[in-house]
Chain A
């Protein structure tokens, strides 16, 4: 018996969802299918075997899709879903391709992808400028591990000389706003500089198609997921999926009460992403209470500089930036 075929037939789909700008309605449908069938949502491309691109096709998004695809080890299958109603069929069909042993044996990705999976992109080490002889010798003469230039160094906040890395956050991150890229410069895990890029696409018109409750539930669930409370996030998404259908789901109040009461959550979020007298915690409580609290995305760099990566993820998840993107 062919062991590989046997294993493949029983491999549960683990789906990495990549949302294009304005693709959130499709993402809801994809997440719902993944959840209801007992599949897993991947935290990084390395663990995924199905890549689901959700949302309208936009021109400059393909490079990100390709990067994620390159860093998926296989067995793997990908699908692009543009309509929420197509999600169930498209995912089932992708899962079938992922389990097709003939197809998977033909598809052997390069064992050493150039990119790392976690950011969907290279760590763009800043020493690409090292050839400009800022260090008195030509770095290009030295043999670099893997052909990657060495990281440059700079003063950190404590006056130590530490490596400076350029790490782009997004758009291929789970629980991350669609089409947002934050180009960060980090030392250790502290962000020293940040620049926000919004990928082109119609990111606002879909919002009118569903009630405000859906947005608030989705924002809250995303923040809870980044905060590492998977169960509360899963419940929030279940409620969201029922609200998309137009119903006012029962259980919202009980769930909101449970989230509000969590002392650990308050402790985790208090003081994160402080802006205009509020922080991540007050914005979450605002969503739970029915307010569409939103912070314009322009202030994001100011909020991120000086924070460490975990707090930066919480800050971004607490913004609900799509509401006033660019304005």
Chain B
């Protein structure tokens, strides 16, 4: 892995480009379902023109700070994710760093829900945090399984360990659980109850204008960060024929992102209270068995 200082400058625009592409793809799918002309990204213009608003006795610092924290955490989460052979920082605990930044998003969602001093956002914020453990534990074990296979928490080592066989081949359960838990961590469809229609938009209900734009952008960036991390952990990083490493990283990330956006639309919102059972009784044991299997293979080698 090559660490470069200008990688830090390049990271935010690359993530934003992915987020914009994902949002555009999503609005094309929306338009198709409604039988209407697609106008991707026009709502961004609308949010820029909209006034900001305040609610009575809002905690403006936490409210707006939460949205900004979401964006910052989403970008930082990708600091250890390589693009081909280039990475902003190949930390020795890169996998843990990624997960830690994702969890900052919980605090951000909670703060946004709390800060507006309004019933629906408040309820949506805390039900998200209270039930997040059901997402986080399977997610964490999926991450750990990849690290286990490589014998290192360094993302560069995880990529190097997949030179012969991609991890997705012999850790399919961990990969699937990872794909399910990424939209859950980003409270994206179908795990979007924190911002769901049942609560008038949930934590988003009181946000308008630039504040709303920042929050929605943060959510897309978090989803992109999760999709991008799937590539070095399970899909062999930048390896592939013909194209240079960075191009393969881009192609694979785009494929994972498109899959998440498309698949998320095919289901109704999954109620977190009902998901608990599946998370604790199916996903968590499945990831543990997968981790055990990987450990045995690593020991036997």
Is B200 touching A119 in the complex (CB atoms < 8 A)?
A: yes
CA distance A71 to B54 in the complex (A): 9
Q: From residue 86 to 138 of chain A, which have CB atoms closer than 8 A to chain B?
A: 108-109, 111-119, 122-123
Is B269 touching A229 in the complex (CB atoms < 8 A)?
A: yes
Is B268 touching A228 in the complex (CB atoms < 8 A)?
A: yes
Report which of A35, A112, A114 forms a contact with B36, defined as CB distance below 8 A.
Answer: A35
Is B34 touching A234 in the complex (CB atoms < 8 A)?
A: yes
Is A111 touching B199 in the complex (CB atoms < 8 A)?
A: no
Is B209 touching A262 in the complex (CB atoms < 8 A)?
A: no
B219 to chain A, nearest CB (A): 14
B166 to chain A, nearest CB (A): 29
CA distance A236 to B117 in the complex (A): 35
Against B, the Cβ 8 Å flags (1 = close, 0 = not) of A245-275 are 0000000000000000010110110000000
The verdict on A189 contacting B123 (CB below 8 Å), with A44-B206, A268-B268 known, is: yes
Chain B residues with CB under 8 Å of A114's CB are 56
The verdict on A38 contacting B36 (CB below 8 Å), with A49-B46, A262-B268 known, is: yes
Q: Does A165 sit at the interface, judged by CB under 8 A?
A: yes
CA distance A50 to B48 in the complex (A): 16
Q: Does A77 sit at the interface, judged by CB under 8 A?
A: no
Report which of B192, B208, B266 forms a contact with A73, defined as CB distance below 8 A.
Answer: B208
Chain A residues with CB under 8 Å of B121's CB are 118
Q: Does B281 sit at the interface, judged by CB under 8 A?
A: no
Is B35 touching A224 in the complex (CB atoms < 8 A)?
A: no
Is A119 touching B119 in the complex (CB atoms < 8 A)?
A: yes
Q: Does A63 sit at the interface, judged by CB under 8 A?
A: no
Q: From residue 16 to 71 of chain B, which have CB atoms closer than 8 A to chain A?
A: 29-31, 33-39, 42-43, 45-46, 48-57
Q: Does B153 sit at the interface, judged by CB under 8 A?
A: no
Of the candidates A114, A147, A225, A268, the one having the most CB atoms from chain B within 10 angstroms of its own CB is A268
Is B42 touching A12 in the complex (CB atoms < 8 A)?
A: yes
CA distance A12 to B39 in the complex (A): 9
B175 to chain A, nearest CB (A): 21
B252 to chain A, nearest CB (A): 26
Is B205 touching A44 in the complex (CB atoms < 8 A)?
A: yes
CA distance A226 to B193 in the complex (A): 11
Is A227 touching B50 in the complex (CB atoms < 8 A)?
A: no
Is A228 touching B190 in the complex (CB atoms < 8 A)?
A: yes
Residue of B nearest to A223 (CB): B268
A39 to chain B, nearest CB (A): 8
Measured as residues with beta carbon below 8 angstroms from the partner, the interface class of chain A is: 35 or more
Residue of A nearest to B38 (CB): A38
Chain A residues with CB under 8 Å of B127's CB are 189, 308, 310
Q: From residue 1 to 55 of chain A, which have CB atoms closer than 8 A to chain B?
A: 4, 7-8, 10-12, 14, 35-38, 40, 43-44, 46-47, 49
Is A228 touching B49 in the complex (CB atoms < 8 A)?
A: no
CA distance A117 to B116 in the complex (A): 10
Chain B residues with CB under 8 Å of A14's CB are 43, 46
Residue of B nearest to A71 (CB): B53
Report which of B30, B118, B197, B273 forms a contact with A228, defined as CB distance below 8 A.
Answer: B197
Q: Of the listed stretches A167-175, A198-206, A287-295, A319-327, name the one at the interface; the rest are far from the partner chain.
A: A167-175
Chain B residues with CB under 8 Å of A268's CB are 268-271, 274
Against A, the Cβ 8 Å flags (1 = close, 0 = not) of B198-222 are 1111001111110010000000000
The verdict on A228 contacting B35 (CB below 8 Å), with A114-B56, A313-B198 known, is: no
Can you show 5 pairs from A to B with CB atoms below 8 A apart? Answer: A4-B49, A148-B57, A186-B119, A230-B30, A267-B274
Beyond A119-B119, A147-B56, A148-B57, list 8 extra A-B contacts (CB 8 Å).
A37-B36, A46-B205, A167-B119, A174-B197, A188-B126, A229-B269, A234-B34, A309-B123
User: A-side interface residues toward B, CB under 8 Å?
Assistant: 4, 7-8, 10-12, 14, 35-38, 40, 43-44, 46-47, 49, 71, 73-75, 108-109, 111-119, 122-123, 145-148, 165, 167, 173-175, 186, 188-189, 224-232, 234-235, 238, 262, 264-265, 267-268, 308-311, 313-314
User: B-side interface residues toward A, CB under 8 Å?
Assistant: 29-31, 33-39, 42-43, 45-46, 48-57, 116-121, 123, 126-127, 189-190, 192-193, 196-201, 204-209, 212, 265-271, 273-274
